[in-house]
Structure 1
């Protein structure tokens, strides 16, 4: 990673940069991680408002926990990644979702951005009062596993989903 990056809350000022990020991910055909990147940005201001409202417990969708979304942005304001931090865990999140879901746009992978994104996300999680963060990845996602381990992840028992997918679980002390 050659450039400095920072986490920013979603904002309408970065609409063009976000749409380029979003389009690249959609064209790739890959699964979108975190889930918030899959949100339709056609009403961009509405999408930003939705993401902001998710931080407030009283506006949470039934059965969902409050969460915070941030974009990983370069000095030039290019969006290279996104993270969604759940403020607390439900039973399902404890098994296979974790506190932090993150992703890097396809063209910017293998440059150290994921490691930096997770490190910055852990700082945000600590500010939210999370003392021990659960971070998970699919057993087949070796790159994500390495990123989690680089950030201090301690393996816990894996979880096998109904479809047979094995989710590796890691705890990181904050």
Structure 2
């Protein structure tokens, strides 16, 4: 049964396979401003090296700490991976506070499921599992956004109790209770 776990080197091989799937659909380009896209650009060429991947895992874990250096405008975030045994299925980030940009565009929680694991309920299960974590971090409710034309993501958010607030540009904004 899949579970949310802290990033770990034990899923290295399946993480690389997932990254190849994301790259095949065009992710990881300079135009991809997502969390995953930025990570792929910064680390992707060397992730196959165990020591580079271990450093990436450590940096990802450290991002939850306030004192960790990060780019201007970025906030601390708790990153969790959705795994089943040794198989990496997706990832989720709980941002520790909202900036003006996150209020309009990114929200409190962002999530991604690897292409070969989509349409099997993983996004909904992953988000449901993350809501108690967000609650323990002090959030209730959380803001989750999706592109206006992303019907699947909208169904995930609504399926987890999301209440539509408004549309800002291309993004739909929902508030989801964590308790």
Distance 1:6 1:116 in 2: 9
Segment drifting more, 39-48 vs 133-142: 39-48
Aligned residues: 165
Q: Describe how 1:12-51 pairs up with structure 2 within 5 A.
A: 12-30=9-27, 35-36=35-36, 38-39=38-39, 40-41=43-44, 42=46, 43-51=52-60
TM-score for the superposition, normalised by structure 1: 0.88
Q: 1:30 Cα deviation (Å)?
A: 4.4
Q: 1:24 Cα deviation (Å)?
A: 1.5
Q: Are the equivalent residues in 1 in contact too, given 2:82–2:89 (CA < 8 A)?
A: yes
Choose the corresponding residue for 2:67, options 58, 61, 83. 58
Task: Classify the secondary structure of the residue corresponding to 2:67.
Answer: helix
Segment drifting more, 21-30 vs 112-121: 21-30
Task: Classify the secondary structure of the residue corresponding to 2:142.
Answer: strand
Q: Are the equivalent residues in 1 in contact too, given 2:18–2:115 (CA < 8 A)?
A: no
Q: Which runs of 4+ in 1 moved over 3 A?
A: 30-34
TM-score for the superposition, normalised by structure 2: 0.86
Task: Classify the secondary structure of the residue corresponding to 1:59.
Answer: coil
Q: Are the equivalent residues in 2 in contact too, given 1:155–1:171 (CA < 8 A)?
A: yes
Distance 1:83 1:34 in 2: 12
Stretches of structure 1 that go unaligned for 5 or more consecutive residues are 161-165
Q: Are the equivalent residues in 2 in contact too, given 1:60–1:66 (CA < 8 A)?
A: no
User: Does structure 1 residue 129 correspond to structure 2 residue 129?
Assistant: no
Q: 1:33 Cα deviation (Å)?
A: 8.7
- How large is the RMSD of aligned CA atoms in angstroms? 1.7
Segment drifting more, 146-155 vs 122-131: 122-131
Q: Are the equivalent residues in 1 in contact too, given 2:4–2:80 (CA < 8 A)?
A: yes
Choose the corresponding residue for 1:9, options 6, 18, 29. 6
